[in-house]
A = this chain, B = another copy of it.
Amino acid sequence: MIARYTHEAMTALWSDQSRYRAWFDVELAACRAMEEEDVVPAGTADVVAPVRDRIDAHRIDTIEATTRHDVIAFLTHIEELAGPSARWLHLGLTSSDILDTSMALLVTHACNLILGEAEEFALVLRRRADELRDVAMVGRTHGIHAEPTSCGVTFALWYAELQRNMVRMRRARDAMSVGKLAGAVGTYANVSPQVEARALAALGLRPETVATQVVQRDRYAELVFAVAQMASGIEKMAVTIRGWQRTEVGEAHEPFGRGQKGSSAMPHKKNPILSENLCGLARVTRGYVTTAIENNALWHERDISHSSAERMMIPDVTSVLHFMLRRAKSLADGLVIHRDRMAQNLDLTGGLIYSQSVLLELVRRGLPRQKAYEAVQRCALSDGSDVTFRQRLSEDPLVSAHLSGEELERLFDVGYHLRHVGRIIDRAIGAAESRS
């Protein structure tokens, strides 16, 4: 988490204050559950509850300097604030009961922030897919002009992938919505499954099916992967925009603010820096995926090696993705589309992008596929002169024997190529809607 790439909502969520409050909420929920199960004296939780607003992160740090154990320092501080009733807190629990359960609360919150931004980003993509559905542009494979497509289809593609990634994120949130109040080795030695069930239900969580001292870390790996996947979907959009904004392509450019400067050296520059920035951040998220998987196979009933990695990783990946979504949304929203350049570029190859249409028509007229292919390739690849592909076709003996000039003409029709595009876009939008 660096300030540059962290929105204040995430800064607040991952602050010490916020984390200690989440710990407190878990302790209190456990205490109430124990009251209901007659394990601690009735009324204890009500006595302790008001302390929440007086938790002092600095004081806890001071105590931890001696205990070298964060949860014990926290409990000592709560006892300072709440007096003797506080001794009923944490009864039969182990630190990980608090840490993992509160982490579930915090991560669930982080996922909700992420999904909220993703929803807004999705709305922008959908609107633009719709708005740009009839804007023809050249499709490129291998960076080479292939056949026509529509600009709206590309936005629909990003939208459809974002929907898949939102499904993955919801699943990851669900996998993380698991707490554990089962004691030192997960056997409920000094706490009961009933207490756990009550407390977790109050917190909106489910119990871990089988826990060791901790909630199992395959759940965390799923979260980090879901983040990296969603980041990779944003990267896909960013790479495409960077391609569109290249000087020679010029089909789109990123919003460029008043007073913005593209280069300290070259005043003419307008660079796709938002997109480039998103690509770099996506790399950071995927670097963490192997870290997250490595954290899973702990020794026996747990070792604590995952902990240091998670302290950096979980705030990092959630806040970076959250930042990316906000940036991606405004980028998609403000992206300037140059329809004229799209139209010009469509014609750039003098019709080569319709070579398949000619090939197929020749096959339909009875030519063997490989023979037809060679004929069309022959007309397409001859370099050096100004003769266009269409001219060469009309002069080719084999081609002209099967296709008249008029018949050829009809094959060079962008409208025909795009006749199914509306259907694709509607399918993408519809698919998502039926899911929500």
A380 (CB) vs chain B CBs: closest residue? B268
Q: How far is the CB of A392 from chain B (nearest CB, A)?
A: 11
Given contacts A75-B369, A141-B184, 14 further A-B contacts (CB under 8 A): A68-B273, A69-B260, A94-B265, A138-B247, A140-B247, A144-B246, A153-B186, A189-B416, A232-B296, A239-B298, A266-B356, A268-B352, A279-B305, A289-B289
Residue contact A264 to B210, C-beta cutoff 8 Å: no
Indicate if the CB atoms of A356 and B246 lie closer than 8 Å.
Answer: no
This chain: copies in complex = 4
- How many residues does chain A have at the interface if contact means C-beta atoms less than 8 Å apart? 174
Closest to A376 in B: B267
In A353-386, which residues have CB < 8 Å from any B CB?
353, 355-357, 359-360, 363-364, 367-370, 373-374, 376-377, 380-381
- How far apart are A252's CB and chain B's nearest CB, in angstroms? 12
Q: Knowing A218-B232, A273-B304, A308-B280, say if A259 contacts B210 (CB, 8 Å).
A: no
Residue contacts A-B, CB under 8 angstroms, 6 given:
A142-B276, A143-B243, A187-B421, A233-B296, A247-B348, A287-B289
Q: Which residue of B lies closest to A93 (CB)?
A: B265
Beta-carbon contact of B94 and A263 below 8 Å:
yes
Contact across chains for B303 and A94 when beta carbons are under 8 A apart: no
A66 sits at the interface (CB 8 A):
yes
Inter-chain contact A210/B139, CB cutoff 8 Å: no
Q: Which of A290-323 contact B (CB under 8 A)?
A: 290-291, 293-313, 315-316, 320
A95 → chain B closest CB, angstroms: 4
